[in-house]
Amino acid sequence: MIDALTDAWRLAVGTLTAVPVRPPRRVDRRTAAAAMVLAPLAAVPLGAVVVAVLLAGDALDLPLLVTALLAIAALVAGNRAFHLDGLSDTVDGLAASHDRERSLAVMKTGTSGPAGTAAVVLVLGVQAAALAVLVGTWRAAVLAGVAVCASRAALAVCCARGVPAARADGLGVTYTSTVPRAVVAAAWAALAVVLAAVGVLADMAWWRGPVAIGSALVVVLVLVRHTTRRFGGVTGDVFGAAVELALAALLVALA
């Protein structure tokens, strides 16, 4: 049991962050499911980096938007732009054609088209603009860091049982349909409680945190449903898009 959790932790940290860890000894569907559930905890180093940048920018009296952009840049570097690549490919696939095979082929090329590039610019802009509102106090900075971690719960939704993989030979074979829906619901409910508590610490109404979590969950569910209808399931790219959109929704709701 301990070995399995260790493998899941290593898989989550090694995949979702640039933090160097030893590779897991075994990666199977059970390990992948646990890794996706642990994703918010694995992202704690990324959340801590965002908090540090926000506090440093405030201490140096930098413009709010500059501080927010620097925090987003640090976050992108901290995950090797992994999720942004997925966002770009997903939007390119959706914009390419209504034909499933054509869309999947476009997503697999790895190049960014105009639709994908525009999506990345717009989503990063929304994240930075919303994050700028949370610059000023250490409590608000901590709230932003928690939001970063919470956004990774989008991965559990993408891997919920009943959500198919778009490709039989892609990332989805190992990860998709592995996480029980009850576990997904419990994870998001726990995050709602955590964000409510941290929001109160940051002098916000207690309900702001749960509303932010609910907003992010709706965005992710819409994405998963739409991509499943268009692609026949989800892909690794959709995972990345879900994380970036969840973070944007969380920050906007908190701002």
**Residue 174 pLDDT greater than 80, yes or no:** yes
Range of the domain at 12: 2-254
What's the token pair of residue 98? 């209504």
For residue range 64-76, what is the model confidence (pLDDT) as tens digits? 999 999 999 999 9
**Rounded distance, CA 126 to CA 132, Å?**
10
pLDDT given for residue 104 in this prediction: 83
Tokens of 153: 């719960």
* Predicted structure pTM score: 0.95
CA distance 254 to 141: 12
Which letter does DSSP use for residue 110 in this model?
A: -
Query: Are the CB atoms for 131 and 72 separated by under 8 Å?
Result: yes
Give the span between the Cα atoms of 52 and 57, in whole angstroms: 9
SS3 179: strand
Look at the chain and report how many structural domains it folds into.
Answer: 1
Q: Outline where DSSP puts E strands in 117-213.
A: none
Give CA–CA dist 22/253, Å, rounded.
Answer: 37
> How far, CA to CA in Å, does 117 sit from each of 36, 190, 226?
27, 34, 20
Instruction: Give backbone dihedrals phi and psi of 201, rounded to 5 degrees, phi first.
Output: -60, -35
Q: What is the pLDDT of residues 131-171, one digit of tens each?
A: 999 998 999 999 999 999 999 999 999 999 999 998 877 66
